[in-house]
Amino acid sequence: MSDKKIPTPDAAQEPRGVSRRTFLGTGAVTGAVLAGATALGAGTFTRESWAAAAKEAKSKIHVGPGELDEYYGFWSGGHQGEVRVLGVPSMRELMRIPVFNVDSATGWGLTNESKHILGDSAKYKNGDCHHPHISMTDGKYDGKYLFINDKANSRVARIRLDIMKCDKILTVPNVQAIHGLRLQKVPYTKYVFANAEFVIPHPNDGHTFDLQDKNSFTMFNAIDAEKMEMAFQVIVDGNLDNSDADYTGKYAASTCYNSEKAYDLGGMMRNERDWVVVFNIPRIEAAIKAGKFINLDGSKVPVVDGRKVDGKDSEFTRYIPVPKNPHGLNTSPDGKYFIANGKLSPTVSMIAIDRLDDLFNDRYKDPREVIVAEPELGLGPLHTTFDGRGNAYTTLFIDSQVVKWNMDEAIRAYKGEKVNYIKQKLDVQYQPGHNHASLTETSDADGKWLVVLCKFSKDRFLPTGPLHPENDQLIDISGDEMKLVHDGPAFAEPHDCILARRDQIKTQKIWNRNDPFFADTVARAKKDGINLETDNKVIRDGNKVRVYMTSMAPAYGLTEFTVKQGNEVTVTITNIDQIEDVSHGFVMTNHGASMEISPQQTSSITFMADKPGLHWYYCSWFCHALHMEMVGRMLVEKA
């Protein structure tokens, strides 16, 4: 592998004279396990061709002042813990939605409303999100919710797309590291499928390090999307990485890279094949309905066992051997295939979904009979996306390329026909993980734009010190040839994104006063006898002081209130402005308190009045010519 010749951009693209291949030294690291990969030319670059391409690209992605983008993009914020909203093709960042993090501007993680949503997990200030997915009806985005996983603290969050705020967070019990997340597509998103990556002992009470024991396992999890409660869990062999669901509502599938259940790197690469595990959702539902389930380690969630016993399959699962440490799992938008991306094998494996009924009815001698093609694409295939015209686009992490290939031709080649299923290889900069084509997860896949999320940006942007941004590249796939049109720096580390047509997302312009987002606060005010839209009052309840006020540009309803040192103060503000875009804020200086109050929203925050003295509070969102003057004072009297 190490002698494979990779064409590199000219010196202008390689200002520090480092080739990307020597830069990562990947040949040396993975050469042994990747032997047998094909080497295909990637095209060559000249200064002129880059300049010409750049000019053409500019005209494609230019969204002029005042014009709107065609697509919403929702980007995972990786281990930064948030979701970012981008416009595509301009790649302009429109909004950030805090989820598994603390956000100073909106007060997420600080306000009572957000802490209520964070629940038990409010104690965690970190998160690691990977996979944002939009709810569907009949295999098309319905624009209602976006779901995202938190690998770091084993959570799944839901974002309401009408207000672009997180409204539910669930910690999945008895597992570690929720990684893969996908939604049921058909008939609608009843379940969020979220798989846990790491094998742990059960009960995990400190009694053992032993992962080979039969009581050490991980689970595939289904969450009721509407209630955001656990629906069921399935014990599996090996571990689980990424998942997807089919277009019949019957099957979901996950990749497993650690069939070895190994503790060490070498061990996890020991087997030539790991597997894709397929879940039969109706059979699991039927077993649970019939009461044939167990509960695990003090949780009430129904659990079924999807492991093999003495080599015999359970009724719930089938294990399809695929090479080697597979990573991404992607359903083609025609509903025909699950595609497992080989990672340590240069191949992807195409599983025919219409053979899964027969697989579950034990009509095949070898479970690999459901595999209809295993095309060789290049080094380090991680994720595949689709244009709806029969082509697939797979990221090659090690080759730093996206390869476009044709699915039907790959199937013909697998049958022995001489056909070159590879259409094009395009260099990306550098080391791509996920890629995502517009509407690819739905039957609407429209083959217009492809976003490629590169893990390394190296020389593509002005240097920012030892920590580099990632590079989210936009590729035009509307023609026969893929064309790179934009480099977009992104902070830690998007992993994945999703694109929806702008007409598929419908947002509210201002808050509805009956919104459940702040219903608890409204209920508490009611108990205090407060009319939130009109009252400016201080309620004293022992050591607790509840301050209610309105806000209307450029003034708070209360500009002075007095508390005693040691009081726990809750400030509740209702923004009675009805004008779109007039958001106010509330910051109590030197108290760590900050929040957003958008038009018709009620927000509240609680802090300790521990310092005697006069303390100013001010509006933090620029709302009016007299925004600086939108202030008030809290007097804290000595105890």
Site for ligand CUA in 185-204 (CB under 6 A): none
Annotated binding site: 130-131, 179, 257, 260, 268, 274, 325, 327, 383, 434, 455, 470, 495, 584, 619, 621, 623, 627, 630
| Bond from prior residue into 494 cis (ω within 30 degrees of 0) | no
Among residues 156, 253, 372, 630, which is the contact residue for ligand CUA, using CB under 6 A? 630
Closest CA to 196 of 233, 158, 249, 244: 233
Give the residue carrying structure tokens 């303390």: 615
CA–CA distance, 436 with 394 (Å, rounded to integer): 10
Residue 631 as a binder of ligand CUA (CB under 6 A): the answer is no
How do beta strands 348-352 and 329-331 pair?
unpaired
Residue 553 as a binder of ligand CUA (CB under 6 A): the answer is yes
Residue 616 as a binder of ligand CUA (CB under 6 A): the answer is no
Residue 488: Cβ within 10 Å count: 25
CA–CA distance, 531 with 513 (Å, rounded to integer): 12
Q: Which residues contact 598 (CB under 8 A, 6 or more apart)?
A: 510, 511, 575, 583, 584
Residue 622 as a binder of ligand CUA (CB under 6 A): the answer is yes
CA–CA distance, 12 with 359 (Å, rounded to integer): 54
The site map against ligand CUK for 469-498 (x = CB under 6 A) is --------------------------xx--
Selection from Ca ion, ligand CUA, ligand CUK, none that 584 binds (CB < 5 to 8 A by kind) is ligand CUA
Residue 521 as a binder of ligand CUK (CB under 6 A): the answer is no
Identify the three-state secondary structure at position 75: strand
The site map against Ca ion for 258-277 (x = CB under 5 A) is ----------x--x--x---
Which of 164/382 has CB closer to ligand CUK?
Answer: 382
Among residues 499, 619, 634, 636, which is the contact residue for ligand CUA, using CB under 6 A? 619
Site for Ca ion in 310-339 (CB under 5 A): 325
Looking at this protein, which amino acid is placed at residue 98? Answer: P
Which of 327/546 has CB closer to ligand CUK?
Answer: 327
CA–CA distance, 321 with 308 (Å, rounded to integer): 14
Among residues 84, 158, 179, 202, which is the contact residue for ligand CUK, using CB under 6 A? 179
The backbone region for 558, taken as left when phi is positive above 0, alpha when psi lies in -120 to 50, beta otherwise, is beta
The site map against ligand CUA for 280-319 (x = CB under 6 A) is ----------------------------------------
Among residues 492, 627, 631, 635, which is the contact residue for ligand CUA, using CB under 6 A? 627
Identify the three-state secondary structure at position 192: strand
DSSP assignment letter at 151:
T
Identify the three-state secondary structure at position 543: coil
CA–CA distance, 27 with 458 (Å, rounded to integer): 18
Q: Rule CB under 5 A: which residues touch Ca ion?
A: 268, 271, 274, 325
Q: Rule CB under 6 A: which residues touch ligand CUK?
A: 130-131, 179, 242, 327-328, 382-383, 433-434, 495-496
Q: Rule CB under 6 A: which residues touch ligand CUA?
A: 553-554, 584, 619, 621-623, 627, 630
